[in-house]
A and B are shown apart, each in its own frame.
Chain A
Amino acid sequence: MSGTGKICKECGYLVHHSLDRCPNCKNDTFHKLDLRGNCKLLKYTIVKSHALGEVEFENGVRANGQVFPKENLKIGMKLKPVYGKISNNFDGNQVYAYSYKHVCP
């Protein structure tokens, strides 16, 4: 899974890949981060068409994504990233992104 995060080479701060300079020390060189494995649900809300969650991987990288199914959600539950088409966003354009599926116990 290509990372949504990267680590500052100077101070080790973890940031989203879109940042050009480290917010902690202003350095502009980073290590890329690959995400593997499952994640846990940190926060969520349920709107009409989907559940939106904030998840965290073991290496600390976070991401937003749609969680399915949208029932029986609990903060701390294990989820696994699933790559595919999502289209229930405002623009209605189909995008490829990660959603997060319940991991069956």
Chain B
Amino acid sequence: MNQVAIIGVGHTKFGKLEDKDLMDLLCDVSLEAIKDSNTSDKDFDAVYVASMLAETLNHITGVASALVDRIGLLPVAADHIKNGPASGGSAIKNAFYAIASGACDLVLVSGAEKMTHITTPGAVTSAVASMTHHTAERIHGASLPSFAGMMARSYMERYNVPKEWITSIAVKNHRNGLNNPYAHFQKEITLEKAMSSPIIADPLQLYDICPISDGGAALVMCNAKIAKKYCDTPILITGVGQATDTHIVYEREDMTVLKALQICSDQAYKMANKAPKDIDVAELHDAFEILEVVESEDIGFFKKGEGAKAAWEGQTEIGGEIPINPSGGLKARGHPLGATGVAQVVELVWQLRGEAGKRQVSGANTGITCNFGGFGNNIISILVERM
């Protein structure tokens, strides 16, 4: 397989972006990544666009075709990649294999979502809940917050974990977000404020759950052989993994174990010839803060049942043993669904380039992501290293 490099990145502000629609977000961020990669005069071999709810929330289909026309890349091959909130990860995976196989040398990956214009209460949660199993889950009123609530209660009772340990992760991520100029929330919160916020899906409270955000992120990727022509610090994607799990959450032996993450991160580590101890920084998918806990375990950083304690003890802070979500994570950076998987890798590129400013993890050379689709039934993990 050819080696694959990232030579440029783009990232919009995440948040309520009233003057930007979905296509604006995709175009802005794609052009930013193209400029960052010094490929403005180049023809691309493929474009992959990630957006989970382009049709449902924006009534736009054919987003990839529309994007490449608008940004002057015709007649490039273009695909719209959908994998729920892991659409970004899937788009990167497809781009990776297009280059690794030799089929393509220069590829653009863009992910975006426009969500905050929807004002009907529950409409976005309902659209996201379309990933649940219709007869076994949805008709009974299940949603992703309800599964996260069940997961949190199961975890807390089994491992004797106080709720504060889980909510402290939201506090950490807000503190990190303060130093991320692109984050939806750039404001600290106290543990007291978070612990007294309204219950959404018991025991999960408002501050344990990520916001609904607009935003976009993009990567320009190429065959590593040509990377240095465009970029002084190419970042290599050396490991990629993807795995699925049962659609119905109750069919899993243990819902606090993300088997798909264990499998896909193993694949990524194996491909990169690395182990969890080699990772300097991680961007995990904390749509609900309990997910950061279980993902930190199933990606190999902590034993099952010890992730919450590790977070409480500060091991996942920027200066800790294994910094998790220096960007602020989904909680503070925000969660425009199709953009998130790409934004996670953009953050790692900045970290590995040494360009992360006040949230820089010192000496970061290797990073890993977890991009979570469905409620854990389709997960992608991407491992990056300095060239």
With A23-B246, A63-B250, A90-B125 as given contacts, are A45 and B140 in contact (CB-CB < 8 Å)? no
- For residue B211, CB closer than 8 A to chain A, the reply is no
- For residue B353, CB closer than 8 A to chain A, the reply is no
- For residue B133, CB closer than 8 A to chain A, the reply is yes
* Interchain CB contact under 8 A, A47 and B248: no
A59 contacts which chain B residues (CB < 8 A)? Answer: none
With A95-B139, A97-B140 as given contacts, are A44 and B246 in contact (CB-CB < 8 Å)? no
B205–chain A nearest beta-carbon distance, Å: 12
As a 0/1 sequence over residues 145 to 167 of chain B, the CB contacts with chain A under 8 angstroms (1 = contact) are 11101100110010000000000
Which secondary structure characterizes the binding site on chain A? strand
The B106-135 residues at the A interface (CB cut-off 8 A) are: 122, 125-126, 129, 133, 135
* Interchain CB contact under 8 A, B202 and A90: no
- For residue A7, CB closer than 8 A to chain B, the reply is no
- For residue B17, CB closer than 8 A to chain A, the reply is no
Complex-state Cα separation, A43 to B135, whole angstroms: 18
A9–chain B nearest beta-carbon distance, Å: 18
As a 0/1 sequence over residues 64 to 79 of chain A, the CB contacts with chain B under 8 angstroms (1 = contact) are 1110000000010000
**Contact residue among B133, B140, B204, B251 (Cβ-Cβ distance under 8 Å from A52):** B140
Most chain B Cβ neighbours within 10 Å, of A18, A45, A50: A45
Q: How many residues of A contact B (CB 8 A)?
A: 28
With A16-B251, A23-B246, A90-B125 as given contacts, are A44 and B142 in contact (CB-CB < 8 Å)? no
**Contact residue among A4, A16, A52, A62 (Cβ-Cβ distance under 8 Å from B142):** A52
- For residue B60, CB closer than 8 A to chain A, the reply is no
* Interchain CB contact under 8 A, A47 and B141: yes
- For residue B255, CB closer than 8 A to chain A, the reply is yes
- For residue B226, CB closer than 8 A to chain A, the reply is no
Complex-state Cα separation, A90 to B125, whole angstroms: 9
B140 contacts which chain A residues (CB < 8 A)? Answer: 52, 64-66, 86, 89, 97
* Interchain CB contact under 8 A, A89 and B138: yes
Complex-state Cα separation, A94 to B126, whole angstroms: 16
A63 contacts which chain B residues (CB < 8 A)? Answer: 136, 250
- For residue B74, CB closer than 8 A to chain A, the reply is no
Complex-state Cα separation, A52 to B250, whole angstroms: 12
The residue on A at minimum CB distance from B255 is: A43
With A52-B141, A75-B157, A86-B141 as given contacts, are A45 and B136 in contact (CB-CB < 8 Å)? no
Complex-state Cα separation, A66 to B204, whole angstroms: 18
Most chain A Cβ neighbours within 10 Å, of B137, B138, B140, B255: B140
B125 contacts which chain A residues (CB < 8 A)? Answer: 90
* Interchain CB contact under 8 A, B136 and A89: no
The residue on A at minimum CB distance from B134 is: A18
B139 contacts which chain A residues (CB < 8 A)? Answer: 86, 89, 91, 95, 97
As a 0/1 sequence over residues 26 to 67 of chain A, the CB contacts with chain B under 8 angstroms (1 = contact) are 000000000000000011111101101010000000111110
B248 contacts which chain A residues (CB < 8 A)? Answer: 16
The residue on A at minimum CB distance from B139 is: A95
* Interchain CB contact under 8 A, B126 and A45: no
B249–chain A nearest beta-carbon distance, Å: 8
- For residue B71, CB closer than 8 A to chain A, the reply is no
- For residue B369, CB closer than 8 A to chain A, the reply is no
* Interchain CB contact under 8 A, B136 and A18: yes
With A64-B136, A90-B126 as given contacts, are A45 and B251 in contact (CB-CB < 8 Å)? no
List 4 A-B pairs, minimum CB-CB distance, nearest first.
A45-B149, A90-B126, A46-B202, A89-B141
- For residue B199, CB closer than 8 A to chain A, the reply is yes
- For residue B200, CB closer than 8 A to chain A, the reply is yes
Complex-state Cα separation, A46 to B204, whole angstroms: 9
13 A-B residue pairings within 8 Å (CB atoms): A43-B255, A44-B150, A47-B141, A47-B146, A49-B141, A52-B142, A52-B150, A54-B250, A62-B251, A64-B140, A66-B140, A86-B140, A86-B141
- For residue B143, CB closer than 8 A to chain A, the reply is yes
- For residue A22, CB closer than 8 A to chain B, the reply is no
Complex-state Cα separation, A15 to B251, whole angstroms: 7
The residue on B at minimum CB distance from A95 is: B139
Most chain B Cβ neighbours within 10 Å, of A4, A23, A43, A46: A43
B133 contacts which chain A residues (CB < 8 A)? Answer: 16, 18
Complex-state Cα separation, A18 to B200, whole angstroms: 30
